[in-house]
A and B are shown apart, each in its own frame.
Chain A
Amino acid sequence: MKKVTVISGKGGTGKTIVTANLTALAQDLVLADCDVDAPNMHLLMKPKILEEQSYKGGKVAVKDEEECIDCGLCKKLCNFGAVTDDYEIDEVKCEGCGLCAAKCPTDALQLTVEKTGNIFLSRSRFGPMVHAKLGIGAENSGKLVSEVSQKAEEIAKEQEKDLVLIDGSPGIGCPVVASLNGADMTLIVTEPTKSGLADLKRVLQVTEHFGINALVIINKSDLNEDITVEIEEFCQQQDIMLAGKIPFDSKVVEAMRQGELIVDYNPESRVTAALKGIWKRVNNKLKE
Chain B
Amino acid sequence: MAVEVVKKLKKPYGVVINRSEEDGDGIIEEYCNVEGIPILLRIPFQREIAELYSEGIPFVEEMPEWREHFQEVVCEAKKVVE
* Structural contact, B53 and A193, CB atoms closer than 8 A: yes
* Structural contact, A136 and B8, CB atoms closer than 8 A: yes
* Structural contact, A192 and B54, CB atoms closer than 8 A: yes
What is the total of A-B residue contacts with beta carbons within 8 Å? Answer: 34
Q: Which residues on the B side are within 8 Å of A196 (C-beta)?
A: 54
Size bracket of the B interface: 10 to 19
Q: In whole Å, how far is A105's beta carbon from the nearest beta carbon of chain B?
A: 30
Say whether A224 faces chain B, with CB atoms less than 8 Å apart: yes
* Structural contact, B1 and A38, CB atoms closer than 8 A: yes
Q: In whole Å, how far is B8's beta carbon from the nearest beta carbon of chain A?
A: 5
CA distance A227 to B55 in the complex (A): 8
Q: Which residues of B from 31 to 82 have beta carbons under 8 Å from A? A: 45, 47, 50-51, 53-56
Say whether A173 faces chain B, with CB atoms less than 8 Å apart: no
Q: In whole Å, how far is B43's beta carbon from the nearest beta carbon of chain A?
A: 13
B55 nearest CB neighbor, chain A only? A194
The answer, among B1, B9, B51, B55, for a CB contact under 8 Å with A92, is B9
The answer, among A92, A191, A194, for a CB contact under 8 Å with B56, is A194
Say whether A54 faces chain B, with CB atoms less than 8 Å apart: no
Q: Which residues on the A side are within 8 Å of B5 (C-beta)?
A: 136-137
CA distance A250 to B57 in the complex (A): 23
Q: Which residues of A from 98 to 126 have beta carbons under 8 Å from B? A: none
Say whether B24 faces chain A, with CB atoms less than 8 Å apart: yes
Say whether B4 faces chain A, with CB atoms less than 8 Å apart: yes
* Structural contact, A223 and B8, CB atoms closer than 8 A: no
Q: In whole Å, how far is A111's beta carbon from the nearest beta carbon of chain B?
A: 21
* Structural contact, A224 and B51, CB atoms closer than 8 A: yes
* Structural contact, A223 and B9, CB atoms closer than 8 A: no
Q: In whole Å, how far is B44's beta carbon from the nearest beta carbon of chain A?
A: 13
Residues of B within 8 A of A (CB): 1, 4-5, 8-9, 24, 45, 47, 50-51, 53-56
10 closest pairs, A vs B, by CB?
A194-B56, A193-B54, A224-B54, A136-B4, A92-B8, A136-B5, A257-B24, A223-B54, A136-B8, A223-B50
Residues of A within 8 A of B (CB): 38, 92, 136-137, 191-196, 220, 223-224, 227, 253, 257
